Amino acid sequence: MSDALVRLEHVGKSFLQKGRPVSVIEDVTLDIHPGEIVSLVGESGCGKTTTGRMIAGLTPPSTGRVSYSGADITRLRGAERRAYRLGVQLVHQDPYASLNPSQRVRDILAAPLKRHRLVRHRDELEVRLRELLQSVDLTPADEVLTKFPHQLSGGQRQRLSIARALSVRPSFLVADEAVSMVDVSIRISILNTLRRLRDEHGLAILFITHDLALARHVAGNGRVGVMYLGRIVEIADADELIRHPQHPYTRALLAASPPDPLSNAPRSAPVQLRQDDIPSLLARPAGCPFHPRCPQFVAGVCDTAVPALVTTSPRHATACTVFTGFHPGMTPDAAATTDAPSGSH
C-alpha cells in the first residue's frame, strides 16, 4: 500500500437536521500523498467542506476513519497529535471572517509562531515574518506588516490567510474555495502561488471548489475528485477527467461549465438532465444518488444498488453501474487510493 499523508477510509458523516440524523457524507475513501494536489469539486451542499473539516479534525466522522501519516487522527496523543495539529491547516473561504480585524498583519502572523514556539528570539521572528509574506508574494513586507486586514485588498487578505496557515510549516493544506471571493486575475495568481508552494515545499493540498475548470487548473498534474450528494462519484488525473469524463454527472458539470480560457480541451456536448433540482439530503434517492437526474438512467439498475467506485483505467475510477457495466474486469473501490503520480512531488 502506498504512503498516504492523509487517508479517508469509508468515511461517513451525519448531522442532526430537523431533529433527525441526515447523512451528508457516505463511504468516502481517498488517499492524498505528500506533495499531491487533489481538487474536490461539486455543487453547493454536496459535502466538500465537511470532508475538508474532517481531514482538519474540526468535524469528527460518524463512521470510517481519517488518518494522518498512517495513524487514526482520533487516537493521536502528545507529540504525534501536535505534529498533526500543525501539519494540517485550513484556509477559509472568507479571509475577512477568519482574520482578527483589530490586529495588524505583524500580530496575525506572529501569534502562531510564538504560540507554538516556532521562533527562538526577536531576530528570528522578524526574518520569519518577512519570509512568510514573501512566500505568498505579499510585498513590500515591511509595509504590509503594519497594516490591518481592512487596509488590504481581497486578494491580499487571501494571501495573508495562506501565509498564516504556512506559519506553522504544515505538510497539508485544505484550501476551501480559497479564491472564490476575489477577481479572476487575482484568483489565477493566488492559485499559481499555491502550486509554487507545492513545488517548493512539497505541500499537499486539498483544493475545494464548485468550479470544474478551477479544480483542474489547481490540480495540475494531480487529481480531481467529483462529489455528488456526499459521495465521490468519479476521480482521476485532472486532464484525464476533463478529456475523458466517465460519470454522467461529471459530463453534466463539464457541459454546464463556461469555456475554460486556460484549456484547449474540446467543448463538451450539452447534457439534458432528466430533472434540474438536486434531491434533498432529507430524501436521499435509493441506489445511485444521481439517478433521478441522470440521462443514462436504467430502471431497475440505477435505482436499486449504490454503485461502488470502480477502477476503470489506471488512475481513473467511476461509480456508475451503467458505465462500468460496459467495462468488465474492473476493481471495486481501488482507484481513490492509487499511488501519487510520479510528477506530483
Ligand X SMILES: Nc1ncnc2c1ncn2[C@@H]1O[C@H](COP(=O)(O)OP(=O)(O)OP(=O)(O)O)[C@@H](O)[C@H]1O
**Rule CB under 6 A: which residues touch ligand X?**
15, 17, 24, 42, 44-50, 210, 281
Picking from 176, 186, 248, 182, the residue whose alpha carbon sits closest to that of residue 215 is 176
| In the complex, minimum distance from the CB of residue 17 to ligand X, in angstroms, rounded to a whole number | 5
| In the complex, minimum distance from the CB of residue 177 to ligand X, in angstroms, rounded to a whole number | 7
Q: Both ends of the chain: CA-CA distance in Å?
A: 18
| DSSP 8-state symbol, 150 | G
User: Nearer to ligand X by C-beta: 15 or 148?
Assistant: 15
Other C-beta atoms closer than 10 Å to the C-beta of 234 total 28
Residue 105 contacts residue 130 (beta carbons within 8 Å): no
**Chain centroid, CA 2 distance in Å:** 20
| In the complex, minimum distance from the CB of residue 39 to ligand X, in angstroms, rounded to a whole number | 13
Q: What distances in angstroms separate CA 213 from CA 38, 45, 191, 260, 265, one per listed residue?
A: 13, 19, 12, 6, 11
User: Nearer to ligand X by C-beta: 50 or 67?
Assistant: 50
User: Nearer to ligand X by C-beta: 41 or 302?
Assistant: 41
| In the complex, minimum distance from the CB of residue 128 to ligand X, in angstroms, rounded to a whole number | 33
Q: Distance between CA 86 and CA 105 in Å, rounded?
A: 20
User: Nearer to ligand X by C-beta: 1 or 16?
Assistant: 16
Residue in the structure block whose three cell numbers are 490591518:
148
| In the complex, minimum distance from the CB of residue 44 to ligand X, in angstroms, rounded to a whole number | 3
User: Nearer to ligand X by C-beta: 42 or 155?
Assistant: 42
What residues contact 274, with CB distance under 8 A and at least 6 apart? 292, 293, 294, 295, 297
User: Nearer to ligand X by C-beta: 15 or 297?
Assistant: 15
| In the complex, minimum distance from the CB of residue 231 to ligand X, in angstroms, rounded to a whole number | 12
| In the complex, minimum distance from the CB of residue 275 to ligand X, in angstroms, rounded to a whole number | 19
Residue 229 contacts residue 288 (beta carbons within 8 Å): no
| In the complex, minimum distance from the CB of residue 179 to ligand X, in angstroms, rounded to a whole number | 13
| In the complex, minimum distance from the CB of residue 16 to ligand X, in angstroms, rounded to a whole number | 7
What residues contact 188, with CB distance under 8 A and at least 6 apart? 217, 262
One-letter amino acid identity for 313? Answer: S
H-type alpha helices, the chain: 48-55, 78-87, 95-98, 105-115, 122-135, 141-144, 154-166, 184-201, 212-219, 238-243, 248-256, 321-325
User: Nearer to ligand X by C-beta: 195 or 210?
Assistant: 210
Q: What distances in angstroms separate CA 303 from CA 161, 227, 277, one per listed residue?
A: 44, 18, 17
User: Nearer to ligand X by C-beta: 79 or 97?
Assistant: 97
Picking from 249, 267, 270, the residue whose alpha carbon sits closest to that of residue 259 is 267
User: Nearer to ligand X by C-beta: 17 or 146?
Assistant: 17
One-letter amino acid identity for 325? Answer: G
Q: Distance between CA 182 and CA 282 in Å, rounded?
A: 33
